[in-house]
Amino acid sequence: MKFTDNIEELKEISRRMRIDILKMLHESGSGHSGSSLSCIDILVAIYFSKMDHSPDRKREDLRDKFVLSKGHGAPALYAVLAECGYFGKENLLTLRKLKSKLSGHPYSCSTPGVEVTTGSLGQGLSQSNGLAMAGRLNGEDANVYCLLGDGEVQEGQVWEAAMSAAHCKLDSVIAIVDHNQLQIDGAVENIKNIEPLSDKWAAFGWYVQDIDGHDFRQILDAIDAAKAEKERPSLINAHTIKGKGVSFMEGVVKWHGTAPGAEELEKALEELSAPAGGGK
């Protein structure tokens, strides 16, 4: 696969990934549209620019690892893994179907490229800490990326893991919060307010950066800064938009866990049909 730091190339990959996400969700008739679209730019930046990985090395230890703690964003991860060559793209349209490799949430026993099984919210950072500690014991020089949802951060286990990572100085852990401000029941601030989020992570001993989670330059620079930090774990608070890229989905809570119907898919694909360019 080809790695790139070219912003326009990354934007074009994201555009194609959004199309793949919507098509597989429509085919399955269920799944999380808004949650997948909000994090796809982050995943593209990680997998196509910054993470040391390849399908040929997926069973080796000496490589970076990725944990999708917000497991309901699985369609975004599957689109990226297929594009990277971990499995054939024809598998995408089998999402959530019987005997498919692609479960509703990431399942390491069936999906090539999935590091650990996730979906029970709040556990991914603990799993990432374990991978980082194992890597330290094995003398590995590798990073562990963990993508969390902002609603997920309401879980107590996240903060136990945050405390543990700082205490153990797990500098290889790079956690990213997909901060789209919406969860299944409504606005995060109304369900259980997590602010001031960045200040809380900093108080727990993490190196913290705030970025626009759809600005590739900011994402890439933040990952570089996190990789350079060698005294403590890193948290990137990525401010995103639920349903990013599809006008009628953006910022609308109902699209948290809803798949597009035929007319909605057609309208969304029309919006995504033009090659990406300009802007951030």
Phi-psi region of 169 (alpha: psi -120 to 50; beta: other; left: phi over 0): left
Instruction: For residue 279, report the phi and psi dihedrals to the nearest 5 degrees.
Output: 65, -150
Task: Quickly tell me which residue has 């297929």 as its tokens.
Answer: 82
The CATH number of whichever domain residue 69 belongs to comes to 3.40.50.970
Paired residues of 66 in beta bridges:
145
Evaluate whether residue 1 is within a structural domain.
no
Is the distance from CB of 88 to CB of 109 less than 8 angstroms? no
* C-alpha atoms less than 13 angstroms from C-alpha of 234 in its C-beta half-sphere: 22
* Tens-level pLDDT at each residue, the chain (280 residues): 679 999 999 999 999 999 999 999 999 999 999 999 999 999 999 999 999 999 987 666 689 999 999 999 999 999 999 999 999 999 999 999 999 999 999 999 999 999 999 989 999 999 999 999 999 999 999 999 999 999 999 999 999 999 999 999 999 999 999 999 999 999 999 999 999 999 999 999 999 999 999 999 999 999 999 999 999 999 999 999 999 999 999 999 999 999 999 999 999 999 999 675 543 4
140 three-class SS: coil
Evaluate whether residue 254 is within a structural domain.
yes
**CA separation (Å) from 70 to 110, 141, 194?**
18, 25, 16
262, exposed or middle or buried, with CB in 10 Å at 0-12, 13-18, 19+? exposed
How many angstroms separate the first and last alpha carbons of the chain?
24
Domain that holds residue 122: 7-271
Evaluate whether residue 175 is within a structural domain.
yes
- Cβ of 275: how many Cβ atoms within 10 Å? 10
Q: Among candidates 230, 237, 235, which has minimal Cα distance to 171? A: 230
Extended strands (E) in 109-240: 144-149, 173-179, 182-183, 186-187, 207-212, 234-239
Domain total in the chain: 1
47, exposed or middle or buried, with CB in 10 Å at 0-12, 13-18, 19+? buried
- pLDDT tens, position by position, 233-265: 999 999 999 999 999 999 999 999 999 999 999
Evaluate whether residue 276 is within a structural domain.
no
Evaluate whether residue 204 is within a structural domain.
yes
Amino acid symbol at 222 = A
Task: Quickly tell me which residue has 């969860």 as its tokens.
Answer: 183
- Cβ of 239: how many Cβ atoms within 10 Å? 18
